[in-house]
Structure 1
Amino acid sequence: MVVSPDMVIEAEVTLKLRINVSKDAAVVHQIDVGSSPVLGEVRVPDSVAADLDAVLNCSKTVMDAVVDSPRSKYLPCIRSGSHSEIGPRRSMDDEHIRIDDLSAHAGSSNFCRPSAFYAVFDGHGGPEAAAYVKRNAESLFIKGVFVPEASTIDESFLKQLESWYREAFFQADDALRTEPSVSHSCGTTALIALILGRHLLVANAGDCRAVLCRKGTAVDMSEDHRCSYLPERERVEKFGDDVIVDGYLKDKLAVTRALGDWEMKLPVGSDSPLIAEPDIQQAILTEEDEFLIIACDGIWDKMSSQYAVSLVRQALRRHDDPHQCAAELVADALRLNTPDNVTAIVVCLSSSPPPPCPPLEQRPGGPILSGEALRKLRSSLEGN
């Protein structure tokens, strides 16, 4: 949540559910914690806890909710690396952009420090659409953004920035319609990530994905726009029962949002199940945010967000090289037999490698359990 700079409230809220192992019968204790939203404790018999032996994982934490404030002094220290491979495909249709310092790149003071821009474009129907969007990315996605001081970023500015990027995706989509070098059967997914001071904005249309590592836990900053994603499926099915065929849009596309593909969007102005409108998510970065992974579906088809975060985190602790991390992430996707081109960007938000995962807090009565374990526990208790 973001508040304007004239507000001075700072808050950090952590939600925890603690399970203590006891030989007593299962009893639910309600704890009065005043204004702190901490859930109560559930005591369970040893027999129930014994069934939950696989739930201890230091990356299974609850994400803190942070209220921004002018008094916050944290700023990320940005460095990044990237890697791409053609994989088993006949052509390389992926493109990506990596700019760690927008001020230096633009040669002006239009951007606060730090400021950075990253993008992945995953083409289909040929490489032309992705290549065109990359060539014109500066005019489409960078020019027009003006942030002289990080301290001027407030709620009003962030809303304007979100609207600006939504319009930028529409303009990029229309540019592909009128570009003679790009066939109307050609298109591309697009995911961009913009860092301004401690503010992160991710805009996505398609099935590339951005994942933030927060204290070892994967936090998805985008959703995969596919027919398997329920909100997209419900939106698309409004166009008819025959729009989705075997999980593909019009028996052709695996994605429900993309730039280009104008043979599916014409005539101009008509409603189409395939749209270019991006989903936009924002976050305020804190000291707990270690790095960001941005990658095409060639990565995510073969690994979960948490798997990728754990792999990169371990690699950073070994050699602290984001370029090598991206290469290892790509190599692992190829080892898992991804059928696609593979592109990954790793953006470190600190000058140091991630710290060791903190040891599990052993409290009297037993360990803290994960969300998955809690669901199993509730099911077990309800069964009794």
Structure 2
Amino acid sequence: MTAGTDLSRPFTVLDGRFSNDNRPPIGDENSEALESLKQMNIGKPPRHLSVIRHCISSAQLVAEDELELNIENIGPKSPANEKSVFLPIFRSGSCSDKGPKQYMEDEHLCIDNLLEHLGEVANFPSPGAFYGVFDGHGGSDAASFIRKNILKFIIEDSHFPTCVEKAIRSAFVNADRAFADTCYLDSSSGTTALTALIFGRIMLIANVGDCRAVLGKRGRAIELSRDHKPNCTSERIRIENLGGIIYDGYLNGQLSVARALGDWHMKDPKGSACPLSAEPELQETILTEEDEFLIIGCDGLWDVMSSQGAVTIARKELMLHNDPERCSRELVREALRRNTCDNLTVIIVCFSPDPPPRIEIAKSRVPRSISAESLNFLKGVLNSNV
């Protein structure tokens, strides 16, 4: 692998990685696709992302197998189940600002069309998209290297595309090790990383550090990642079990996050477990018509804004002009007005060409004395406790 490879142009080194010959043998591809459709019907992901292409094109399955099925309701056709399957259309916008800091150490990546970006060699389902925010510290070398190479590590992994989750986990760890081996870069610099890989309706969020992904679902904020702070109970236990210490909220008294790529001055030799982990946590979501947009931001945003507050602002902006770029700029401006102390990077990903619809709240005889934002927050809390 050549260090610093830029993903701004299609890969030329995949050597047919995506050809059917490299996939595990499948006994009955249509049966597997049907089983995957049943999995999706009960709210579960397909068994293999490699068969999403069948789920995406249910009309083709009907033509080939003469099956009368619908992804929403598997069974005989009727007027009630002829509703078309929701497929997201990806539109994104981003904004970065160095804020009050002297240097900008953030990096980010927005790819609305993976097939177009990677070229014809990429034999995976469409639509597909990829986004990432990388919040560097101790210099920008780590953030820049990971931005340029993380997608390449994912799609060149031996587990891709039959087991995308394993491919992503391996890619993060392998990218971290490759960065350490790149002699012309400062391996003591580090970065957090949050990526969103989307195939059709399936979205996989991978997170290392304290960037955050928040889904806007009809005005409600749904957090799809967990901030990896050293004082978080599960991270504290992991750190202490591996011999690390937490001093005043900092890992080994040095770092304000419990997971990061780079920072090799704080890590043990390659292959050994250490308190500072590069392994991502993954969250899988199946997008529905209620999922309007995704916010990915570095901690410079979340230090001064709640997840629900960001979703409320973003939704109002999108209802006004339906422009994710302007929406991301407004979130950055608002964070600056609230005196954030860090660099700022925000990505907004919309899943529909239309602006979010107005939310109608049923009228009550009793006057309502709670704001729409507070109401959505309470709904989120109640749903999370169900």
TM-score > 0.5, shorter chain as reference: yes
Matched, 1:234 2:237: yes
The partner residue of 1:204 within 190, 203, 207 is 207
How do 1:89-168 and structure 2 match up within 5 A? 89-108=101-120, 109-143=122-156, 157=162, 160-168=163-171
Q: RCO (CA 8 Å, sep 6+): is it higher in 1 or 2?
A: 1
Q: 1:370 to 1:75 in 2, by over 3 A?
A: closer
Query: 1:251 — aligned with what?
Result: 253
Matches of 1:333 and 1:204, distance apart in 2: 22
Matches of 1:195 and 1:205, distance apart in 2: 18
Matches of 1:220 and 1:352, distance apart in 2: 23
Is contact 1:96–1:119 with CA below 8 Å preserved after alignment? yes
Q: How far did 1:227 drift?
A: 1.5
Is contact 1:128–1:181 with CA below 8 Å preserved after alignment? no
Is contact 1:9–1:69 with CA below 8 Å preserved after alignment? no
Report the structure, 1 or 2, having the larger strand content. Answer: 1
Q: 1:231 to 1:361 in 2, by over 3 A?
A: farther
Is contact 1:299–1:338 with CA below 8 Å preserved after alignment? yes
2:148 partner letter? R
1:258 partner letter? A
Matches of 1:373 and 1:221, distance apart in 2: 16
Q: How far did 1:134 drift?
A: 1.6
Query: 2:29 — aligned with what?
Result: none
Which whole-Å deviations, capped at 9, do the CAs of 1:246-305 have from their partners, x for residues lacking one?
A: 100011111101111111112233331100010000010000000000111110111111
The partner residue of 2:288 within 268, 283, 286 is 286
Query: 2:196 — aligned with what?
Result: 193
Matches of 2:286 and 2:195, distance apart in 1: 16
| Paired residue secondary structure (1:204) | strand
Matches of 2:368 and 2:265, distance apart in 1: 60
| Paired residue secondary structure (2:192) | strand
Matches of 1:163 and 1:234, distance apart in 2: 24
Is contact 1:190–1:206 with CA below 8 Å preserved after alignment? yes
1:134 partner letter? R
Matches of 1:366 and 1:312, distance apart in 2: 24
Matched, 1:76 2:88: yes
Which whole-Å deviations, capped at 9, do the CAs of 1:44-85 have from their partners, x for residues lacking one?
A: xxxxxxxxxxxxxxxxxxxxxxx9877871100110100000
Q: How far did 1:334 drift?
A: 0.9
1:212 partner letter? L
Matches of 1:286 and 1:328, distance apart in 2: 26
Q: 1:113 to 1:268 in 2, by over 3 A?
A: closer
Is contact 1:110–1:146 with CA below 8 Å preserved after alignment? no
Q: 1:69 to 1:230 in 2, by over 3 A?
A: farther
Matches of 1:239 and 1:114, distance apart in 2: 41
Q: How far did 1:138 drift?
A: 3.7
Say how many residue pairs are matched.
309
The partner residue of 1:359 within 342, 358, 361 is 361
Matches of 2:98 and 2:287, distance apart in 1: 33
Is contact 1:68–1:284 with CA below 8 Å preserved after alignment? no
Rg larger in structure: 1
Q: Which deviates more, 100-109 or 120-129? A: 100-109
The partner residue of 1:86 within 86, 95, 98 is 98
Report the structure, 1 or 2, having the larger helix content. Answer: 2
Q: How far did 1:110 drift?
A: 2.0
1:320 partner letter? N
Query: 2:38 — aligned with what?
Result: 7
Q: 1:338 to 1:75 in 2, by over 3 A?
A: same
Q: How far did 1:143 drift?
A: 4.3
Q: Which deviates more, 97-106 or 173-182? A: 173-182
Matched, 1:224 2:223: no
TM-score, with structure 1 as normaliser: 0.74
Structure 2: stretches of 5+ with no match in the other structure:
1-33, 44-70, 75-80
Matched, 1:317 2:348: no
| Paired residue secondary structure (1:263) | coil
Q: 1:127 to 1:373 in 2, by over 3 A?
A: closer
TM-score, with structure 2 as normaliser: 0.73
Q: 1:366 to 1:309 in 2, by over 3 A?
A: closer
| Paired residue secondary structure (2:269) | coil
Q: How far did 1:361 drift?
A: 5.5
Matches of 2:156 and 2:332, distance apart in 1: 31
Q: 1:139 to 1:68 in 2, by over 3 A?
A: farther
Q: 1:299 to 1:367 in 2, by over 3 A?
A: closer
2:203 partner letter? L
Is contact 2:221–2:380 with CA below 8 Å preserved after alignment? no
Is contact 2:155–2:167 with CA below 8 Å preserved after alignment? no
Identity percentage over the alignment?
Answer: 48
Which whole-Å deviations, capped at 9, do the CAs of 1:355-374 have from their partners, x for residues lacking one?
A: 11221353899999888599
Across the aligned residues of Structure 1 and Structure 2, the Cα RMSD in angstroms comes to 3.0
Query: 2:177 — aligned with what?
Result: 174
Q: 1:98 to 1:365 in 2, by over 3 A?
A: closer
| Paired residue secondary structure (2:107) | strand
Matches of 2:380 and 2:187, distance apart in 1: 50
